[in-house]
């Protein structure tokens, strides 16, 4: 089948939903093409059902000029895969010293601003960034982390890090940064979007700020909704599984991610915040890395999980366990992120899902160049079988004659 026929697909038992929008992916080009390219990342996006992705600007060079935005847009268009929306830096070169020209970058097509990976440490500069972003009518996507508190940490600070003897990143490193960011958002009246919130207290701070009427939004990643810090120690139990899964070797660098995998209590609080609307969007923070950056000691490995292609089955696992309604999860992948960006959900973008299909995650099976996921070897349930961009079928997978209906 090369045409999209919604009725026929639904009649055959497939779930057909609007194309997913991912607020947070790293495409690594220019500068780190061994880890991912715009083309490979945009293809991986389609495999995961994401028809629109926002490209983070922490490339080399960083996306801080209209010329670099134009180049990114041209390359994405040539790839003819997912739509790629450029996010420009907040500061020149992401150095945190001097603001980029946010108004000019917005005019050149930047949909938002972010120094993701590097929070803007200087509060005065960040205030100024919020004011310019407000004038440009774009949100600021902030990576909330107090760098002094998180310094040298490689995993969540708690019982597991103590057992393993690894330096920890306390929950407070995120929460303190969020408290500051919220205060500055209030001062500026800008649209502040907090990236990858990961702790119970973080979402409580956002919940209160929303109740106070602040224009704040936030996102959560599928890995923070499904995995805990016990995975660093070799546990492979997904949060909602009653029975422990087979164990893996501890210190597997594919579990190293920033912010780190947190505790079971945090995971439950994130699902509650998703259910009550405190969390606006689910974003993958797709962070592919070439194996040379991961096949090293835990302390030295790069942070990040390759997440585009496994996001949906992880989320469906939570839905099947009764932790959130399917509609809530789909909204957080479509209308939620669109609202954060202030755009409409594209009319003719669709994602078709076989909820009953099971598949095993393998390095060879991933379209992304980043094979860095702790889910390698694991069987997942639920698979994207078609992605449609602007009415054009750009990805077609295994369309079985009669998928088993899951209700």
Which residues, at least 6 apart from 391, have a Cβ–Cβ distance to it below 8 Å? 4, 348
CB 305 to Zn ion: min, Å: 12
Q: Minimal CB distance to Zn ion: which residue?
A: 143
CB 141 to Zn ion: min, Å: 9
When the beta carbons of 8 and 151 are compared against Zn ion, the nearer one is 151
166-192 burial, b for 16+ CB within 10 Å, e for fewer?
Answer: bebbbbebbbbbbbbbbebbbebebbb
Cβ(366)–Cβ(40) under 8 Å?
no
When the beta carbons of 26 and 47 are compared against Zn ion, the nearer one is 26
CB 114 to Zn ion: min, Å: 8
When the beta carbons of 116 and 280 are compared against Zn ion, the nearer one is 116
Cβ(290)–Cβ(230) under 8 Å?
no
- Kindly report the backbone phi and psi dihedral angles of residue 341, in degrees, each rounded to the nearest multiple of 5, phi listed first: -80, -15
Catalytic residues: 285
When the beta carbons of 116 and 181 are compared against Zn ion, the nearer one is 116
Cβ(287)–Cβ(303) under 8 Å?
yes
CB 124 to Zn ion: min, Å: 22
Vertex 109, ends 86 and 186: CA angle to 5°? 80
Cβ(226)–Cβ(239) under 8 Å?
yes
CB 180 to Zn ion: min, Å: 16
DSSP string, 289-301: --GGGTSS-TTTS
**Contacts made by residues 357-360, CB under 8 angstroms, sequence distance 24+:** 357/381, 357/382, 357/383, 357/385, 357/398, 357/400, 357/403, 358/383, 359/383
Rounded CA gap, 141 and 93, in Å? 16
Give the C-alpha distances (Å, rounded to integers) separating 360 from 32, 79, 240, 389, 404: 28, 27, 19, 26, 18
Binding site for Zn ion (CB under 5 A): 116, 143
When the beta carbons of 116 and 229 are compared against Zn ion, the nearer one is 116
DSSP string, 29-74: TTT-TTT--HHHHHHHHHHTTEEEEEEPS-SSS-S-SHHHHHHHHH
CB 196 to Zn ion: min, Å: 6
């Amino acid at each position: 089948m090369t045409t999209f026929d919604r009725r026929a697909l639904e009649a055959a038992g497939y779930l057909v939903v609007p194309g997913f929008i991912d607020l947070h992916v790293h495409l690594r080009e220019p500068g780190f093409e061994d880890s991912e390219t715009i083309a490979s990342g945009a293809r991986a996006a389609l495999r995961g059902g994401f028809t629109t992705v926002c490209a983070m600007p922490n490339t080399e060079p960083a996306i801080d000029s209209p010329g670099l935005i134009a180049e990114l847009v041209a390359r994405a268009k040539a790839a003819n895969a997912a739509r790629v929306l450029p996010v420009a830096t907040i500061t020149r070169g992401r150095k945190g010293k001097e603001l980029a020209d946010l108004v000019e970058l917005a005019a050149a097509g930047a949909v938002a601003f972010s120094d993701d990976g590097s929070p803007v440490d200087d509060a005065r500069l960040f205030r100024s960034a919020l004011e310019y972003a407000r004038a440009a009518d774009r949100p600021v996507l902030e990576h909330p982390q107090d760098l002094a508190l998180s310094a040298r940490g490689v995993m969540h600070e708690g019982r597991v890090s103590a057992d393993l003897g690894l330096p920890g990143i306390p929950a407070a490193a995120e929460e303190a940064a969020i408290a500051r960011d919220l205060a500055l958002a209030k001062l500026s009246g800008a649209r502040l979007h907090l990236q990858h919130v990961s702790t119970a207290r973080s979402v409580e701070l956002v919940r209160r700020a929303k109740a106070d009427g602040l224009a704040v939004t936030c996102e959560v990643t599928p890995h923070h909704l499904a995995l805990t810090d016990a995975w660093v120690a070799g546990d492979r139990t997904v949060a909602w599984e009653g029975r422990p899964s087979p164990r893996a070797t501890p210190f597997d660098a594919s579990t190293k991610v920033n912010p780190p995998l947190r505790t079971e209590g945090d995971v439950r609080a994130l699902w509650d915040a998703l259910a009550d609307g405190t969390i606006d969007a689910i974003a993958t923070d797709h962070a592919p890395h070439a194996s040379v950056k991961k096949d090293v000691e835990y302390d030295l490995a790069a942070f990040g999980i390759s997440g585009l292609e496994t996001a949906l089955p992880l989320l469906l696992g939570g839905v099947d366990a009764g932790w959130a309604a399917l509609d809530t999860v789909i909204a957080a992948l479509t209308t939620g992120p669109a609202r954060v960006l202030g755009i409409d959900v594209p009319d003719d973008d669709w994602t078709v899902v076989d909820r009953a299909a099971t598949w095993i995650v393998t390095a060879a099976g991933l379209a992304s160049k980043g094979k860095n996921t702790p889910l390698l070897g694991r069987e997942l349930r639920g698979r994207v079988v078609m992605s449609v961009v602007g009415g054009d079928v750009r990805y077609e997978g295994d369309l079985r004659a009669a998928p088993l209906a899951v209700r």
